[in-house]
């Protein structure tokens, strides 16, 4: 890519090569994606978005994002998608665990069945000494 933003002959040749690979095996590759300063073949289902969502970022965050994108040789968009994916996975796991905890608490309140303190303390002490034992029931 030239400093004026136009594509040089090498860039055009690289895109042509990618498009040829894409045509050879359409079942695996979805399309050619322009990265920050390279082109990539995007596998089918790989962060292909159907809607655009706007995110307002302050100048400092935008600069940090641009710097990281340059270092990682990825687009800022790719980094934002990855960050959102990781955040959602973490928060969904948290909500799932919270629901399990509430179900256990309700079960305890209804039945009164619990692990006695002595058994739990002995199990934890064994873990602290490096002895892996099944959780007491």
Angle between helical axes of 76-111 and 59-72 (0-180°, round to 10) = 100
Percentage of residues in the chain having pLDDT higher than 70: 64
Q: Which of 1, 35, 32 is nearest to 17 (CA)?
A: 32
Which stretch of DSSP H or E encloses residue 41? strand 39-43
- Say if residue 101's pLDDT is above 90: yes
Give the three-class secondary structure for 32.
strand
How many whole angstroms separate alpha carbon 90 and alpha carbon 93? 5
How many whole angstroms separate alpha carbon 32 and alpha carbon 11? 13
- Note the pLDDT tens digit of each residue in 31-54: 555 555 555 555 555 555 567 788
């Amino acid at each position: 890519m030239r400093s004026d933003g136009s594509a040089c002959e090498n860039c055009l040749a690289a895109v042509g090569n990618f498009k040829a690979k894409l045509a050879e095996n359409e079942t695996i590759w979805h399309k050619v994606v322009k990265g920050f300063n390279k082109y990539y073949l995007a596998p089918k289902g790989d962060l292909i978005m159907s809607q655009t969502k706007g995110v307002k970022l302050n100048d400092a965050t935008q600069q940090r994002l641009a710097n990281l994108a340059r270092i990682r040789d990825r687009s800022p968009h790719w980094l934002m998608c990855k960050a959102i994916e990781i955040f959602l996975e973490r928060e969904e796991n948290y909500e799932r665990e919270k629901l399990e905890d509430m179900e256990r608490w309700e079960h305890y309140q209804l039945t009164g069945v619990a692990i006695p303190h002595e058994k739990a303390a002995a199990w934890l002490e064994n873990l602290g000494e490096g002895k892996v034992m099944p959780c007491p029931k």
